Amino acid sequence: MTSSLAEILRPLDPAGALPLYQQLQRSLREAIENRVLGPDDALPAERQLAAELAVSRITVRKAIDGLVEEGLLVRRQGAGNFVAARIEKNFAKLTSFSEDMRARGRAPHSEWLRRSEGTVSPEEALTLRLLETLDAVGDSLYEALERAGRRPTRALQRLRALLLNAEQAKLLHAHPGDAGLLVERVGFLPDGSAVEFCQTFYRGDTYDFVAELSSSND
């Protein structure tokens, strides 16, 4: 081994505000996001990392557990822990509208109906860390978020049926009163902060939602 990862990571503070495992989780996350650790790179062994950082192995494991949960690391028993390869390619479930359309062989485009910036409440300012400016958004919101390093990795989605009103019908080239779907989504960054709130209207006659379900949760 040439250099020690533990020397690169920010030192852990046992008296800090955050628990040790969360401090370590953040340090490792930053190392991955800043490409100090590249895709498929192996982490030092858990026992070695624990010794160098002067914490217990369980604390190291808990930090790694969190990063596995976030999708940044993968465990391989007997072999080691590795930085997840091709993180962007893993967005099979959480895809942007543009990607979704292109996957169906359609050419998506977007029309700005209204674009505004506004002040947010202090609480929103704490949790929402959006783009520097809305001008950054071209045809794809997700591509703009990607460029800013702010692409959501987790989302909560809600879906309901409605009748299209006149404005919605016109935009979708349908008729008022036609069947429609509304999908609302809040997207989160790996650190849990919300970065996207999205309302999408679909024509009921052209859009199906398909899900593969499982009753085993392990």
Partner DNA sequence: CAGTGGTCTAGACCACTGC
Interface with DNA (CB under 7 A): 14, 19-22, 43, 45-48, 54-59, 61-62, 75-81
- Classify each residue of 135-163 as buried b or exposed e, where b means 16 or more C-beta atoms within 10 Å of its C-beta: eebeebbbbbbeeeebbbbeeeeeeeeee
SS3 60: helix
Short-list 11, 10, 100, CA closest to 54:
11
Among 94, 136, 172, 194, binds a second copy (CB under 8 A): 94
Partner from a second copy, DNA, none binding residue 207, C-beta < 5-8 Å depending on class: a second copy
Give the number of other CB atoms < 10 A from CB of residue 177: 11
SS3 200: strand
Q: Which of the stretches 48-56, 107-115, 123-131, 174-182 binds a second copy when contact is defined by CB under 8 A?
A: 174-182
Is 138 a binder of a second copy (CB under 8 A)?
no
Partner from a second copy, DNA, none binding residue 45, C-beta < 5-8 Å depending on class: DNA
Q: For residues 52 and 186, which CB has a smaller minimum distance to a second copy in the complex?
A: 186
Partner from a second copy, DNA, none binding residue 108, C-beta < 5-8 Å depending on class: none
Judged by CB under 8 A, the chain residues 46 through 85 that form the site for a second copy are 66, 69-71, 74, 84
Strands 80-83 and 73-76: antiparallel
Instruction: Tell me the C-alpha distance between 193 and 136, whole Å.
Output: 20
Among 54, 125, 134, 156, binds a second copy (CB under 8 A): 156
Partner from DNA, a second copy, none binding residue 78, C-beta < 5-8 Å depending on class: DNA
Q: For residues 37 and 130, which CB has a smaller minimum distance to DNA in the complex?
A: 37
Q: Which of the stretches 36-44, 119-127, 130-138, 159-167 binds a second copy when contact is defined by CB under 8 A?
A: 159-167
Among 137, 155, 172, 194, binds a second copy (CB under 8 A): 155
Instruction: Tell me the C-alpha distance between 52 and 70, whole Å.
Output: 24
- One DSSP character per residue, 87-152 reads GGGGTTSS--HHHHHHHTT-------S--------HHHHHH----S-GGG--S-HHHHHHHTT---
Distance of alpha carbon 196 from its chain centroid, rounded? Answer: 10
Positions that interact with a second copy (CB under 8 A): 22, 66, 69-71, 74, 84, 87, 90-94, 152-163, 177-181, 185, 202, 204, 207-218
